[in-house]
Structure 1
């Protein structure tokens, strides 16, 4: 079953960004993931709250692939840099309709 990662990221420093993007791109691909959206162009149309600077949606072929990406030893220092240098939320969503 496919899964989606949905991230909201607001950088608090820029020291991690230059190294993060090329490495994470490669490791996402290594684990079979694909970026669906990675953009600063978004708007809230319902609800309230703080707007993140960046929203990201990734597609994964399975939950195991998403978890393998997050636990990849090559990715871990970049994950640490991102989480220490930003306000980030990451939700993993199963690609199914429970209400169908």
Structure 2
């Protein structure tokens, strides 16, 4: 089952950004992750605007692949630097339809 990692980041100290941006996609790729977007072009269409400065969307074949990416020893120092220099939320969603009405999405388990 495909899963999507949604990283919502508000950068508070950008010292970590250059190394993180240069290296993290290769680490994700080693764990079968594929970036679908990593952007600062964030437009609020409904509800209160958020203060994130970057949102990334990464597809992985499974939750296990995401967890392997997060636990990768090479990612550890990058993730620690990101946490020190930002306020962030990492959310994991799957490709199911909770209402069960969209035929091309998987049914919830």
For 2:5, the equivalent position in structure 1 comes to 5
Once residues 73 and 46 of structure 1 are traced to their aligned partners in structure 2, the CA distance between those partners, rounded to angstroms, is 39
The structural deviation recorded for 1:63 is 0.4
**Does 2:87 align with 1:87?**
yes
| Residue-by-residue CA offset, 1:54-81 (whole Å, 9 max, x unaligned) | 1111100100000100011110110000
Aligned to 1:61: 61
Give unmatched runs, 5+ long, in structure 1: none
- 5+ unaligned residues in a row in structure 2: which ranges? 101-109
User: Scaled by the length of structure 1, what TM-score is found?
Assistant: 0.94
Q: TM-score, with normalisation over the residues of structure 2?
A: 0.87
1:36-92: CA deviations, max 9, x gaps? 111111211111153311111110010000010001111011000001101111100
User: Where does residue 47 of structure 1 map in the other structure?
Assistant: 47
Q: What is the CA distance between 1:15 and its match in structure 2?
A: 1.1
Q: Which has the higher contact order (CA 8 A, sep 6+)?
A: 1
